[in-house]
Amino acid sequence: MNNGFPPGSPAFPSSRMRRMRRDDFSRRLMRESQLSVDDLIYPVFVLEGEAREEAVASMPGVSRVSLDRLLLVAEEAVALGIPALALFPVVDAARKSLDAAEAWNPDGLVPRTVQALKARFPTLGVITDVALDPYTSHGQDGLIDDSGYVLNDETLAALEKQALCHAQAGADVVAPSDMMDGRVARIRARLEAEGLIHTRILAYSAKYASSFYGPFRDAVGSAANLGKGNKYTYQMDPGNSDEAIREVALDIAEGADMFMVKPGMPYLDIVRRVKSELQVPTFVYQVSGEYAMLKAAAANGWLDERACVLEALLAFKRAGADGILTYFALDAARWLREKG
Ligand code: PBG
């Protein structure tokens, strides 16, 4: 009698992998990756006006809020120990234009919001998005020529002004998400020239032309402007991986401090490659479409929201992410605290 093992083999498995899985204490001791509140960045949408709150239909639980309400959200984030917010503006249609000039208006929605957040919560990290899509009448991230092609070098000049405007308002981190070539170098040089040597740059280095951004474009109101347009001439092709490594390497050389892979879950292989091959602070964005999928399944009772969200966030850590932008940040922070 040998317990059903093939003839000639020992009567017991030489390694019992299940031994360490048997009890909670040994599972905890051998767990390689941990998720903590320190890993979370909360993306928020800010609107003009006062006492305004608008739900985003395709992102249940996410609202666009005016500054007074945003301060309450920020207070909650601080109380939960979330290190930073990522700010996205919803710009009134009247302020959108072909030249996107509102993007570097020192009295614009973003600089005013940054000032208010930093005044009230000096220790909360404030990250601003550097890209023209909230400000262009066509919804592209850059300036376009007559054929609709997004112009690289002309856009760089605009991004430089936008990043400077955010940094002067007190943003701790400027995050170019536009995918123009050479933007990190331009922004870095300008910040240095202006004496803003502490402003960090979070480069959206490996940003893919993804269809998972749909709900976000609803949230910031760029979907209608973009219409049938797409971003294939500047965001990365989803089939590529080596190109992501090259993009991150360029942004390292250009002086970025942090490096983003976006979207998240379908691109875990890219997160792993960036971390293993380049050993830089690696961030990942669990984007609006990923959020919408999890919310929709949970709302139908098909998935356990809390368990699946915490599993997805832990998987980002396992893949090598140092930090995660997630619309679940507040919930995740609460769940982690309860577990604590
Ligand atoms: C645009 C921008 C996008 C997102 C963040 N900044 C969308 C896009 O590239 O069209 C998407 C974020 C999300 O889907 O959650 N600069």
CB count in 10 Å sphere of residue 137: 14
Residues with CB under 6 A from ligand 1: 129, 131, 133, 141, 177, 213, 216-217, 231, 287-288
Instruction: Tell me what pLDDT residue 11 has.
Output: 86
Q: Output the CA angle 47-197-253, nearest 5 degrees.
A: 95
Domain ranges of the chain: 33-339
CATH code, 33-339:
3.20.20.70
Please give the radius of gyration of the chain, using alpha carbons only, rounded to the nearest integer. Answer: 22
Other beta carbons less than 10 A from residue 49's beta carbon = 12
Q: Other C-beta atoms within 10 Å of 38: how many? A: 13
Mean pLDDT, the chain, whole residue set: 96
Residue of 129, 138, 166, 213 best suited for mutating to test ligand 1, as the one with most atoms within 8 Å of CB = 213
7-11, 155-159, 255-259, range with the lowest pLDDT:
7-11
Q: What is the pLDDT of residues 77-105, one digit of tens each?
A: 999 999 999 999 999 999 999 999 999 99
**Closest residue (by CA) to atom 11 of ligand 1?**
213
- Distance from the alpha carbon of residue 217 to the mean position of ligand 1, in angstroms: 7
Output the pTM of the full model.
0.96
Question: Residue for token digits 């691109």?
Answer: 267
Pocket test for ligand 1, best of 217, 262, 290 (most atoms within 8 A of CB): 217
Q: In this predicted model, what pLDDT tens digit does every residue of 157-171 receive, in sequence order?
A: 999 999 999 999 999
Residues known to be catalytic: 207, 262
Distance 293 CA to ligand 1 centre (A): 16
